[in-house]
Each structure stands twice: as C-alpha cells, then as structure tokens.
C-alpha cells in the first residue's frame, strides 16, 4: 500500500459544504434582492427614456377653388389700351369690397366685354386714372372678368374705394342694384365663389371682420385711423356712397355664408377675425395714390 505524503508547507483543503437547510433559507432573500435590482433597473430606464410626443394635428386649411376668370385680353383691345405704369402690389388680400357699376341692367351677357371696355375708357379718360379701378367684374350671368392689371392670383392694389385700396380687392357687379332691382342668383353665386377663393388665400373667413387702416380722409375714417370692417364688405362700409345698391347690399349676408361654405367652414360657426391689415407693406410700381369710383 502506497502512502502519500503531504508537501511541506501545504495544508490540507477541505471542501466547504453548505448545509442544504441553510441554502434553502437563503433562497427567499436572494429572490427578493434580484427582484429589487430588476425593478430598480426598470424604473431607471423609464425615467431616462424620452416619452413619445403626440403628433400635432395639422391646421385645417379653409381655402376654396379658383373660379374661372376671363383675362383682360378678352375685353381690352389695342384701340382702347393706353400706356400705364407697372401694377402695385400688397402682401395679401384680407378683405374684399363689393360694388356695382351703376350701368344699365338689360344687357346681353355677350356684351359684357364691351361694357367693361367702356368703363375702362371712362375711368382712364375723363377721370385720368392709370387703369380700371376694380380688380374684378362680374356680369349678370355669373361670368367673372379680370379687371385691373397685375394678375388675378396676385394681391394687386386696386383703385376702387377711397382709403382702403391696400390689402383689399374690389369686385364690381355689372349693373345697377338699387332698391327694388332684381339681383340675379348667378351674379351673387359668382361673387361668393370669387370672394371665397381670394380671401381663402390669406386664411380669411368671409363672415369675419378685418382691421384696415384708412389711407386718406375721403373715406368714412380719418387718415391713419384703424377701421374694423366686414371681410366681405360693401363699398358703402368704407366710403360715403349708396354703392353697391340697397338690393345687392341686402344680399351680402347670404354671399358671406355661401363663401364660407365654399371654404369648407361650418355653417353658423363663430368666425375668427381676419388677419390684421393695419400695416401696409411696401408696394411696387407707380407711386401715385389710387383713386376710387364715386358710385
């Protein structure tokens, strides 16, 4: 029998044995510590994570389709046209003024270009204006014509009402619409469609009001005064006149509501004030102050 001797200096190591009962007693404590560590890790992860921000809802764009517009070339011939300065522009249109031309009503709609040409000749001739004052004209059949030069899609500075030609557009109904005169539905529908489109470009509710600054004291307001006017106004709202005639003026509330519907707005909804028009942006072109019809 072989006897093994221990190496000098070496000590016999006996395996450490943990009693089974003691190990079983530690298990609940170990589980609790592990659970606590996992919980702490989860809390720290949630605290440092970036919460998901709900996506912002896009603003509803209340715009309307551009109605058909007959260009100037359809009514302005070379015999009538005269040299004129470049158009003047504002930054946007926040209000429109409705006029009537104070001309006969019993015309054939095919004669509308001739009537507009006659109005242009009178305003640029006897009145010595640089162009026809209205931005648009509408005949009794609902046809819309481009009036003043500069482009129907642009914010062209008109010459249609004293004091409030900046940031506005003038829409003239061809005819006379005083008390008792019938107002064709096609005419008012076309005005509503035109106003809905033009005001929609600036986000203006046709039923709202707009703040405009009077440029001269010939209007109802002193020069420099801020006026709160309907965004879809009658000429009489800004100037001492009977234009656009009592019969057409009485239809303006209906025109506003129709224009608002064409912009996709809720009927009866409280309108929000139109963007402020108090600051006149620098205009380009001829510096002459636009004049306005006295109708």
Asked whether the beta carbons of 161 and 294 are under 8 A apart, the reply is no
Give the C-alpha separation, 280 to 263, whole Å.
26
Distances (CA, A) of 124 to 58, 83, 148: 47, 10, 11
Give the C-alpha separation, 175 to 245, whole Å.
10
**For 49, what's the count of Cα atoms within 13 Å in the CB-facing half-sphere?**
9
How high is the pLDDT of residue 271?
65
How high is the pLDDT of residue 82?
86
Asked whether the beta carbons of 243 and 252 are under 8 A apart, the reply is no
Conformational region of residue 79, where left means phi above 0, alpha means psi within -120 to 50, and beta covers everything else: alpha
How high is the pLDDT of residue 78?
85
How high is the pLDDT of residue 83?
87
How high is the pLDDT of residue 212?
97
pTM above 0.85, yes or no: no
Which tens digits make up the pLDDT trace of 248-288?
999 999 999 999 999 999 887 666 555 544 434 433 333 33
CA nearest neighbour of 132 among 120, 144, 146: 120
How high is the pLDDT of residue 270?
61
From first to last of its 295 residues, the chain has per-residue pLDDT tens of 444 444 444 454 555 554 544 444 444 444 443 443 333 333 333 333 444 544 554 456 799 999 999 999 999 998 888 888 999 999 999 999 999 999 999 999 999 999 999 999 999 998 899 999 999 999 999 999 999 999 999 999 999 999 999 999 999 999 999 999 999 999 999 999 999 999 999 999 999 999 999 999 999 999 999 999 999 999 999 999 999 999 999 999 999 999 999 999 988 766 655 554 443 443 333 333 344 443 4
């Amino acid at each position: 029998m072989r006897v093994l001797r221990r190496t000098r200096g070496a000590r016999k190591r006996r395996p450490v044995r943990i009693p089974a009962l003691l190990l079983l007693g530690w298990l609940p404590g170990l589980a609790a510590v592990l659970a606590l560590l996992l919980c702490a890790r989860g809390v720290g992860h949630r605290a440092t994570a970036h919460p998901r921000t709900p996506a912002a809802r896009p603003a509803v764009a209340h715009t309307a389709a551009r109605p058909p517009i007959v260009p100037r070339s359809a009514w302005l011939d070379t015999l009538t046209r005269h040299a004129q300065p470049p158009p003047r522009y504002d930054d946007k249109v926040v209000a429109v003024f409705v006029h009537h031309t104070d001309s006969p009503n019993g015309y054939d709609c095919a004669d509308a270009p001739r009537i507009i040409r006659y109005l242009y000749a009178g305003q640029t001739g006897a009145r010595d204006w640089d162009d026809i004052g209205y931005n648009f004209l509408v005949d009794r059949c609902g046809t819309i014509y481009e009036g003043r030069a500069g482009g129907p899609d642009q914010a062209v500075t008109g010459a249609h009402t004293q004091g409030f030609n900046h940031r506005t557009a003038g829409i003239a109904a061809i005819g006379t619409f005083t008390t008792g005169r019938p107002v064709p539905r096609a005419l008012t529908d076309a005005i509503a469609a035109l106003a809905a489109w033009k005001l929609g470009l600036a986000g203006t509710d046709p039923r709202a009001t707009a703040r405009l600054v009077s440029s001269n004291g010939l209007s109802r307001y002193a020069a420099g005064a801020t006026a709160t006017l309907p965004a879809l106004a009658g000429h009489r709202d800004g100037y001492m006149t009977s234009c656009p005639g009592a019969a057409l003026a009485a239809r303006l509330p209906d025109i506003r509501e129709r224009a608002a519907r064409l912009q996709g707005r809720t009927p009866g909804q409280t309108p929000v004030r139109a963007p402020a028009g108090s600051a006149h942006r620098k205009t380009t072109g001829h510096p002459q102050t636009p004049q306005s019809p006295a109708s």
